[in-house]
Amino acid sequence: KTTIAFVADNPGKWLFHCHMLEHAAAGMSSWFEVV
Protein backbone atom coordinates (compact mmCIF):
# COMPACT_ATOMS: atom_id res chain seq x y z
CA LYS A 1 0.00 0.00 0.00
CA THR A 2 1.26 3.46 -0.91
CA THR A 3 -0.08 6.89 -0.03
CA ILE A 4 0.78 9.86 -2.25
CA ALA A 5 -0.20 13.47 -1.55
CA PHE A 6 -0.61 15.89 -4.46
CA VAL A 7 -2.81 18.76 -5.63
CA ALA A 8 -5.55 17.24 -7.82
CA ASP A 9 -6.78 20.33 -9.67
CA ASN A 10 -7.01 18.97 -13.22
CA PRO A 11 -10.11 16.76 -13.65
CA GLY A 12 -9.96 13.69 -15.81
CA LYS A 13 -8.57 10.16 -16.01
CA TRP A 14 -4.82 9.92 -15.48
CA LEU A 15 -2.23 7.17 -15.79
CA PHE A 16 0.13 6.65 -12.86
CA HIS A 17 3.06 4.53 -14.02
CA CYS A 18 6.74 3.71 -13.91
CA HIS A 19 8.88 4.28 -17.01
CA MET A 20 10.88 1.10 -16.39
CA LEU A 21 9.20 -1.51 -18.61
CA GLU A 22 9.86 -4.36 -16.19
CA HIS A 23 8.10 -2.46 -13.41
CA ALA A 24 5.12 -1.50 -15.58
CA ALA A 25 4.77 -5.12 -16.75
CA ALA A 26 4.84 -6.26 -13.11
CA GLY A 27 1.85 -4.06 -12.26
CA MET A 28 3.39 -0.68 -11.44
CA SER A 29 0.87 1.03 -13.66
CA SER A 30 -2.62 2.21 -12.71
CA TRP A 31 -5.35 4.67 -13.66
CA PHE A 32 -6.90 7.20 -11.30
CA GLU A 33 -9.65 9.74 -11.81
CA VAL A 34 -9.81 13.32 -10.54
CA VAL A 35 -13.40 14.54 -10.25
Residues 12-30 pLDDT 10s:
999 988 889 898 889 888 8
* 30/8 Cα distance (integer angstroms): 16
- pLDDT for residue 16: 86
Q: Tell me, what's the pLDDT at 27?
A: 82
Give domain limits for the chain: 10-34
By C-alpha distance, which of 16, 21, 17, 20 is closest to 34?
A: 16
pLDDT at 2: 79
The whole-number pLDDT of residue 24 equals 83
Q: pTM for the full model?
A: 0.57
